[in-house]
Amino acid sequence: MLLLPRIAALVLLPVLSLAQDTHYPPKGQQIPPPPCLSVVHPWWEFSGERPCTREDIESWRKDITHWREEARIRIGYSDAEYRRPELLWTQSSFLQPQVMLEDRYLYDPGAGKYTVDRYLDDLEKRYGGIDSVLLWHTYPNIGIDNRNQYDHLRALPGGIAGVKQMVADFHRRNVKVFFPFMPWDQGTHDPGLPNAEATARLMAEIGADGVNGDTLRGLPRTFRLASDALGHPLALQPESGPALEALAWNNMTWGYWEFPRVPWVSLYKWLETRHMVNVCDRWARSKIDNLQFAFFNGVGYETWENVWGIWNGITPRDAEALRRMATIERAYAAFLVSPDWKPFDWMEQHSIHASRWPKGEETLWTIVNRSQYNVDGRQMRLPAQSGVRYFDLWNGAELTPEPEGGDLFLSFPIEANGFAAVFATRSPDAKLTSLLAAMKHISARPLSSYSNEWKPLLQQVKEVPRTQPASTAPEGMVRIPAGKFLFKINGIELERGEEHNDIGVDVQYPWEDSPRTHHSHVLQIDEFFIDKYPVTNAQFKKFLDATHYRPKDGGNFLRDWQNGAYPAGWSNKPVTWVSLEDARAYAAWAGKRLPREWEWQYAAQGTDGRAFPWGNAWNEDAVPVAEKGRTLRGPDDVDAHPRGASPFGVLDLVGNVWQWTDEYEDEHTRAAIVRGGSYYRPQGSLWYFPPAYHNDQHGKLLLMAPSKDRAATLGFRCVQDAAVQKN
């Protein structure tokens, strides 16, 4: 999941494929089309160009068919996994979104419950619904403390019982459920079991149907054996195409493809037509190429919109195309696994490309128009067959063949950058009649009449009420004077779009018109007071004793305390395992509030733009020793590092525990800005939650529910507003 498409496309297949006698060796996950279709000569050579003939395409198809048969022999291919009744559903799992479990359409933090119906109803309305779903519960938050991928799943609201019910709710709507496996998660808490076994056990416990192998080119066979041993066989779906040998037990995969002018053939679909590929292009704003290549190849699409909390929504035009192509694919899924698939069946007009899918005496064609103009008139020339009737599935109408000699022509319109599908049968049945009626209704409007404009989601910051003003510094607080401040800050999310500064990424400050990664703005900061140190365990205990506070969602609340008491010797350490809601409750009790992010940074940086609170050079003596193991020792005392003081004398800002500040939300995602980094630095992967020790860096933590949001390395400090000084 985390492999960038550009990188994935460069992954070469084993030498096996290159050593065989073929003129068209696979490139990445695709097989190139007949050269006569894709080679474009410069104008000065045009006079020598020869158009494609049926013989050219048949020669190409014969070559790649020979390669396929030899490849299967070389890897000792067995199709047993594709004949298993309990895994047949994978062959029609055409639309599968990856969705963050933090998505507000899927979980309602106010009600404290999963809202599967709301989530699925939205997809039904926008593009006709889904067949399976990949529920993402780890990255990008994993690594903020030492909870591993299995711990993060158990920390979801309601625990295992709640997740199991959520999975059942998806099943009630006939949607299969996947969870990810991260092979790179080797720096957090040791699960104590081999990953294949730990994954299989947890998936069986919650009733999930499959596993997506994040960053993997094929899930190892141990995952197949482990899930079978439990009697709960899982569909295995690696992020990137498996090595050819692993095709035998990886029934599905994602398609990281290139999208030239002429469609390329899916390598894995060609090797095993029952293998489901879900084309994935997470950052693409226009899905036209993705959907056309998927339809041509008879495969599915990863309808991924919530990309690590960044919304890359499907446009209305592409959503409507999805609805129509999926309606046809689902109705005739049995044809799209035909072992006699013929890519580039002959078409009469330029830039119109078709795949032929025969089954018995009936045939389906999936067709795409790769030109930017509408194409009408004669599209297909076929041998005349007595009694055969032809249907334009896309427009929901029967076609009238035009006989000529011993052949017949089929004429029908295809929109610019559009789709078509033709079905041939001697015996129209009720399913065909129903499909034609449905498609006639939903295709009444051309795709071109739907908007193809992409828009980012705008965000709002949660308002923070002012406190009762103080005239002098309250006990334990430091005065921060009023002044102009250049608030310059950068989001450090690991994946931020293709250009690393795409609109819609990171957060949108109140003075900005859209979210973006890099921010710079001059602010007039009013005088305020800030805690000299983060709130300690002892201070939080006083709050509990005074208020008897108990959160509604108590999962992981003060997890390192026992029987209402913090560990011995921890009184002066910052309190952790507190949610944003817990921190706000404490602040309100104390007559304070949480700092705005710019206040936190002003208190840490002053006015000279320094890189760290203490200066411009990193100082190991100013912060705790980094913890790089798989267990946590706990944070240092808040006053243990006086050399870390800011220009205003504020301490323990960086490198001990992260600190809560502002909360942002859009229609789909809530996130908190956390500052200062922590002492924990998990090793072994660059995908863990990145540290943000510099004054011009912040972390963005996706929010779901207090039980999941709380962390062993996340605390807070408070501020109080100052009284306005009269002249």
CA distance 656 to 147: 18
Question: Is residue 6's pLDDT more than 50?
Answer: no
Please state the three-class secondary structure of 47-85 as a single string. HHCCCCCHHHHHHHHHHHHHHHHHHHHHCCCCCHHHCCH
pLDDT digits (tens, 9 = 90+) for 538-574: 999 999 999 999 999 999 999 999 999 999 999 999 9
What mean pLDDT comes out for the span 177-181?
Answer: 98
Q: What is the pLDDT of residue 48?
A: 52
CA distance 686 to 660: 23
Among residues 704, 672, 710, which one has the least CA distance to residue 560? Answer: 710
Question: Is residue 468's pLDDT more than 90?
Answer: yes
CATH number of 460-721: 3.90.1580.10
For the CA atoms of 35, 37, 38, 41, the dihedral, rounded to the nearest 10 degrees, stands at: 90
What mean pLDDT comes out for the span 133-148?
Answer: 97
pLDDT digits (tens, 9 = 90+) for 425-434: 999 999 999 9
Q: What is the pLDDT of residue 726?
A: 66
Q: What is the pLDDT of residue 7?
A: 38
Residue 259 corresponds to which tokens in the numbers above?
Answer: 């999208």
pLDDT digits (tens, 9 = 90+) for 382-421: 999 999 999 999 999 999 999 999 999 999 999 999 999 9
The number of residues in the chain equals 727
Among residues 96, 188, 191, 187, which one has the least CA distance to residue 136? Answer: 96
pLDDT digits (tens, 9 = 90+) for 634-684: 999 999 999 999 999 999 999 999 999 999 999 999 999 999 999 999 999
Strand partners, 389: 425
Q: What is the pLDDT of residue 16?
A: 45
Q: Are 394 and 384 in contact (CB under 8 A)?
A: no
Q: What is the pLDDT of residue 173?
A: 98
Residue 430 corresponds to which tokens in the numbers above?
Answer: 């009720």
What integer best gives the mean pLDDT of the chain? Answer: 94
Could you tell me if residue 676 is left (phi over 0), alpha (psi between -120 and 50 degrees) or otherwise beta? Answer: left
Residue 443 corresponds to which tokens in the numbers above?
Answer: 């295709």
User: Domain locations in the chain?
Assistant: 89-213+269-331, 460-721
CA distance 210 to 224: 10
pLDDT digits (tens, 9 = 90+) for 268-313: 999 999 999 999 999 999 999 999 999 999 999 999 999 999 999 9
Q: What is the pLDDT of residue 42?
A: 55
CA distance 407 to 397: 21
Strand partners, 520: 488
- The beta-strand segments (E) located in 526-611 are 528-531
Question: Is residue 13's pLDDT more than 80?
Answer: no
Q: Are 699 and 692 in contact (CB under 8 A)?
A: yes
pTM: 0.95
Among residues 596, 636, 641, 595, which one has the least CA distance to residue 614? Answer: 641
Q: What is the pLDDT of residue 45?
A: 54
CA distance 270 to 24: 13
How far is CA 611 from its chain centroid? 33
Residue 690, C-beta contacts closer than 8 angstroms, at least 6 positions apart: 492, 493, 494, 699
Question: Is residue 457's pLDDT more than 70?
Answer: yes
Question: Is residue 615's pLDDT more than 60?
Answer: yes
Residue 222, C-beta contacts closer than 8 angstroms, at least 6 positions apart: 194, 196
CA distance 482 to 479: 10
Q: What is the pLDDT of residue 524?
A: 97
Is there a cis peptide before residue 140, judged by omega within 30 degrees of 0? yes
Question: Is residue 113's pLDDT more than 60?
Answer: yes
CA distance 670 to 445: 36
- The DSSP element (H or E) to which 211 belongs, if any, is strand 210-213
Please state the three-class secondary structure of 607-659 as a single string. CCCCCECCECCCCHHHCCCCECCCCCCCCCCCCCCHHHCCCCCCCCCCCCCEE
Pairing assessment for the beta strands 719-721 and 528-531 based on DSSP bridges: antiparallel
Q: What is the pLDDT of residue 40?
A: 57
Would you place residue 44 in the very low, low, confident or very high pLDDT band (cuts 50, 70, 90)?
Answer: low
Amino acid at 689: F
Question: Is residue 506's pLDDT more than 70?
Answer: yes
pLDDT digits (tens, 9 = 90+) for 191-241: 999 999 999 999 999 999 999 999 999 999 999 999 999 999 999 999 998
- The DSSP element (H or E) to which 268 belongs, if any, is helix 267-271
Q: What is the pLDDT of residue 507?
A: 96
CA distance 535 to 715: 7
Q: What is the pLDDT of residue 21?
A: 76
Q: Count H helices, E strands: the chain?
A: 17, 33
Among residues 210, 267, 217, which one has the least CA distance to residue 239? Answer: 217
Q: What is the pLDDT of residue 239?
A: 96
Would you place residue 10 in the very low, low, confident or very high pLDDT band (cuts 50, 70, 90)?
Answer: very low
Question: Is residue 41's pLDDT more than 90?
Answer: no
